[in-house]
Structure 1
Amino acid sequence: MSNTVFEDEIRLSNRPLVISDIDEVVLEFLDPFRSFLESRDHVLLPRSFRLTGNIIHRATERAASEADVKDMLDAFYATQDRWQTPTAGVVETLRELSKQADIVFLTAMPPRHAAARRALLDRLDLPYPLLASEEPKGPIVQRLHAGRALPVVFIDDIARNLQSVQEHAPSCLLINLMANAEFRALAPQPADCVHIASDWVDAANAIRAHFQR
């Protein structure tokens, strides 16, 4: 698969649906991004759960502006294949889950970088359909699932994305999963209805239990 699919091109089977975010869930993001920043004489400090204000120039100790952070992210995504690696256990777990369910990736990333991400995912044996959008995730999940009488699961590291899906697809099992423990400790706490997974094994157990309900 060489190009990112559009929503209307996704063909779901009569099986449960697992929709997963990418950065910090399927692919390591914060550690690779730190390495990328260090190659540009910047450091990422774990002072709060945000990038702007925490990316500091090594020599001047000045925080990068919001515009600079956006430019750095853009450059990182353009070369993501040099930096990003799979999170622990994701390849094997999704391979097993794909025997029971359809899997779709929904990444909050400028669509212009989707082709590079698609190529990286394919190289890493993560061949599932990819949607790249900067729009709220709840309406996208709602459209994908389309009210089917089948289990649906959404996995993300960001509380606001989980909340968006909760509002638009209330039957969805919500799972919070984040690879980087240091920044996870700084993250806003998800709602009580969200299953906080320690790793992909934990997430898979929750998903299979949801399928059996």
Structure 2
Amino acid sequence: MGMWGAGTGIRLSDRPLIVSDVDEVVLEFLTPFMAFLQAEGHALLPRSFRLSGNIVDRESGEAVSDVAAEALLEAFYAAQDRWQTPAVQVVETLKRLSGDADIVFLTAMPSRHAVLRRSLLDALDLPYPMLASEEPKGPLVKRLHRERDLPLVFIDDILRNLHSVREHAPASLLINMMANAEFRALAPVPAADIRVAADWAEAAKLIRGHWHAQAKTC
């Protein structure tokens, strides 16, 4: 018998829960965004771990304004189904994990793009429930999982989101994963309690190891 994640509209079974970010974790983001920018006469330079200040006009080499960068990101999300592709091994890995756990996608994007993202995920054989919200992720994950005595895993490329979930759901396994190796090398180093996975095969090993350890303590 399952239960509803409070205020989420998602019904969970009595199994472990995996909550995953989408951009740079389930779907490639930076690599297709760079290709999109090239087509628009811009480039994203791997100078630091951020978009702001690193999107430049290809002709002048000048960084675009934050307003222009937001407009380019908005245009990309409006055309995401023509650019974004699944991360390596994500489809088959999640299919296997879904035999033992509930999977929910938690994507930090404006809700106006949620319908297109949902259709893209479905088309890519990633049919798991999705929440699109720009709220902090920790409280959302806590409301979703509630007080269930079941293993919880959270996967994200951004440390701010992992820290938020750590604060609100401290028993969860936190995994930092990022598809684009060039920008991953520029990312801050996670704290010791956040595991790092190079890809979905490694993430699956961490997840199953966490489940095994949790089962031994019960």
The answer, yes or no, to whether TM exceeds 0.5 is yes
What is residue 3 of structure 2 aligned with on the other side? Answer: none
Alpha carbons of structure 1 residues 126 and 33: separation in structure 2 relative to 1, 3 Å: same
Instruction: Using structure 2 for the length normalisation, give the TM-score.
Output: 0.94
What is residue 3 of structure 1 aligned with on the other side? Answer: none
Question: Considering only aligned residues, what root-mean-square deviation do their CA atoms show, in Å?
Answer: 1.0
Residue by residue, what CA displacement relative to the aligned partner does 1:124-168 show, whole Å, maximum 9, x if unpaired? 000000101111100001111102100000000001110000000
Q: In the TM superposition, what is the alpha-carbon distance from 1:70 to its structure 2 partner?
A: 0.8
Query: Percent of aligned positions with the same letter in both sequences?
Result: 65
How far apart, CA to CA, are the structure 1 residues paired with 2:109 and 2:158?
A: 14
How far apart, CA to CA, are the structure 2 residues paired with 1:61 and 1:191?
A: 35
Kept after mapping to 1: 8 A contact 2:8/2:131:
no
How far apart, CA to CA, are the structure 2 residues paired with 1:74 and 1:35?
A: 15
Q: In the TM superposition, what is the alpha-carbon distance from 1:7 to its structure 2 partner?
A: 4.4
Q: In the TM superposition, what is the alpha-carbon distance from 1:123 to its structure 2 partner?
A: 0.2
Deviating more after overlay: 184-193 vs 84-93: 184-193
What is residue 176 of structure 2 aligned with on the other side? Answer: 176
Q: In the TM superposition, what is the alpha-carbon distance from 1:8 to its structure 2 partner?
A: 3.0
Instruction: Using structure 1 for the length normalisation, give the TM-score.
Output: 0.96
What is residue 207 of structure 1 aligned with on the other side? Answer: 207
Runs of 4+ in 1 over 2 A off after TM superposition: none
| 1:24 partner SS | coil
How far apart, CA to CA, are the structure 1 residues paired with 2:191 and 2:67?
A: 31
How far apart, CA to CA, are the structure 1 residues paired with 2:12 and 2:70?
A: 34
Residues 90-129 of structure 1: pairs in structure 2 closer than 5 A: 90-129=90-129
Residue by residue, what CA displacement relative to the aligned partner does 1:100-130 show, whole Å, maximum 9, x if unpaired? 0000000011110000000000000000001
How far apart, CA to CA, are the structure 2 residues paired with 1:196 and 1:174?
A: 9
Q: In the TM superposition, what is the alpha-carbon distance from 1:60 to its structure 2 partner?
A: 1.6
Q: In the TM superposition, what is the alpha-carbon distance from 1:191 to its structure 2 partner?
A: 1.5
Q: Which consecutive residues of structure 2, in runs of 5 or more, have no partner in the other structure?
A: 1-5
Kept after mapping to 2: 8 A contact 1:163/1:191:
no
What is residue 57 of structure 1 aligned with on the other side? Answer: 57
| 1:183 partner SS | helix
Deviating more after overlay: 186-195 vs 93-102: 186-195
Q: In the TM superposition, what is the alpha-carbon distance from 1:188 to its structure 2 partner?
A: 1.2
Kept after mapping to 2: 8 A contact 1:27/1:87:
yes
Which amino acid in the other structure matches residue 164 of structure 1? S
Residue by residue, what CA displacement relative to the aligned partner does 1:34-78 show, whole Å, maximum 9, x if unpaired? 010001100000000000100000112111111111111110000
Q: Which consecutive residues of structure 1, in runs of 5 or more, have no partner in the other structure?
A: 1-5
What is residue 74 of structure 1 aligned with on the other side? Answer: 74
What is residue 13 of structure 1 aligned with on the other side? Answer: 13
